[in-house]
Amino acid sequence: MRLVEHPILQFQRGRRVMFTFDGEPVEAYEGETIAAALHAAGIRILSRTRSGAPRGLFCAIGKCSSCLMTVDGTPNVKSCVTPVRDGMVVESQTGPGRLNPDFRPQRAPARTLGAQVAIVGGGPAGLSAAQTLLEHGVRPVLVDENPHPGGQLVKQTHKFFGSRAERAGTRGVTIARELISRVRDEVELLSQAQALGLYEDGSGRTLVVAHGRRLTLIRSPYLIAATGAEERFL
C-alpha cells in the first residue's frame, strides 16, 4: 500500500524502478527508501537477530538496527534511510552480516575542504546555527546524514503547541522549509554524509566525513555538534 495523496504534504511520485530483495524483484519509485518499498510490497520482516528473532521497520530514521541489510555487497546498510536505485541488489541478513572477502568497493580519492566553521547535524539546531553564522559573515560547511536537511521537523506535520515565540501553531514541516530557505544558497551542504571523527595535529583540526564513496577532510578551527536526540531502546 502506498500513499497517492496526503492531506497536508504535496509530493510527486518518482519514476518506477526495480530492485531485487533476496533474489526476488520488487517494484519501487525513486525517492522511496528500501524499507518503504519493501513495506509497500507487503514485506514486513527486514532482518533477524543472531537467534533468528524477526525484526521489522521500527524507528524509520536510521537510529536503530532493526532494518540492517546487505546492499550491493555492503552489509549493515540502514534500509529505512537508504533511497532505492534501479538495479539495486538487496539481501536480508541475520545478526551483524558478513562482508564478502572478495568484495572491492569503488572508492574515490579523498578531498579536502577548508571551512571557517563546520556544523555536524542539519536539524533545527544546526540550521539555526548556520543562519546565525551567516548573519555574522561566516560561511559554514554543514554535514548531515539524511538526504535532505531539516532533521525531525521534516516528518512533523502537526502544529506545534506552547508559546507563539517558539512557533506554536506552526507545522514542523513549515518550520523546516523556512529554516532551509534561509541558508540553502549560502552554506556548503554535505548530505547523506556521516562524521567519523575529529582529529587534531600541529596544523589544526580535521573533521573526517564519509560522503558517498569517498572521505572528505574538513579543515576547520571550529566545530558545532548539533546531532540532535534519539530514542533509547530497551
Mind listing the pLDDT tens digit for each residue in 110-148?
A: 999 999 999 999 999 999 999 999 999 999 999 999 888
Per residue in 205-226, pLDDT (tens digit) is: 999 999 988 999 999 999 999 9
**pLDDT of amino acid 62:** 85
Classify burial at 50, counting beta carbons within 10 Å of its beta carbon; exposed 0-12, middle 13-18, buried 19 or more. exposed
| CATH superfamily entry for domain 111-225 | FAD/NAD(P)-binding domain (3.50.50.60)
Is residue 216 within 8 Å of residue 190, measured between CB atoms?
yes
What are the φ/ψ torsions at residue 20 (nearest 5 degrees)?
Answer: -115, 145
Alpha helices in 71-214 (DSSP H): 124-135, 172-183
Give the pLDDT of residue 137. Answer: 96
For CATH 3.50.50.60, list the domain ranges present in the chain.
111-225
Share of the chain above pLDDT 90, in %: 61
Q: Which fold has domain 16-91?
A: Ubiquitin-like (UB roll) (3.10.20)
CA nearest neighbour of 149 among 129, 170, 135, 164:
129
- The stretch 24-53 carries a mean pLDDT of 93
- Residue 44: pLDDT band (50, 70, 90) is very high
Q: CATH 3.10.20.440 in the chain, residues?
A: 16-91
The string of pLDDT tens digits covering residues 141-156 is 999 998 889 998 988 8
- Residue 114 CA to residue 64 CA, distance in Å, equals 33
Is the per-residue pLDDT at 1 higher than 80? no
Q: CA dihedral in degrees (156, 179, 174, 143; nearest 10)?
A: -40
In the chain, what percentage of residues exceed pLDDT 70? 97
